[in-house]
Amino acid sequence: MKAVVIGERAEVTMDQIMAVYPRHKVVVDKFIAQGVVVGIGPFNDLGNMAIFKTRQAAEQFVKEDPFILEGMVKTYVIKDWNDSLLPTDKN
């Protein structure tokens, strides 16, 4: 089972987002290097989503992500996700 973090953009400007982005990218790159990120990125409305191989990785990510910690994300939810495309995937 995978875990998905879905975030809603706070009422912030693109300049505010871009000021935090370098710190956010460091955290994202760390989780990618660990091999626990399946996909990550913004929606057209600048909300965001990240898919992790485990709930533990998703929970750790939200504890470290500057976008969340510094108020760029208004709210977020972590949802467990059964990826039906790969039903035998144990990761």
pLDDT tens-digit readout, 11-40: 999 999 999 999 999 999 999 999 999 999
pLDDT at 77: 98
* pTM over the 0.85 mark: yes
Cα-based torsion angle of the residue sequence 69, 6, 72, 29 in order, rounded to the nearest 10 degrees: 70
d(CA 57, CA 34): 10
What's 2-81's CATH class?
Answer: alpha beta
**Tokens standing for 37?**
């990120």
pLDDT tens-digit readout, 34-89: 999 999 999 998 899 999 999 999 999 999 999 999 999 999 999 999 988 865 55
Ordered by start, the domain boundaries in the chain are: 2-81
pLDDT at 85: 81
Helix/strand/coil for 59: helix
Distances (CA, A) of 59 to 11, 31, 86: 24, 12, 23
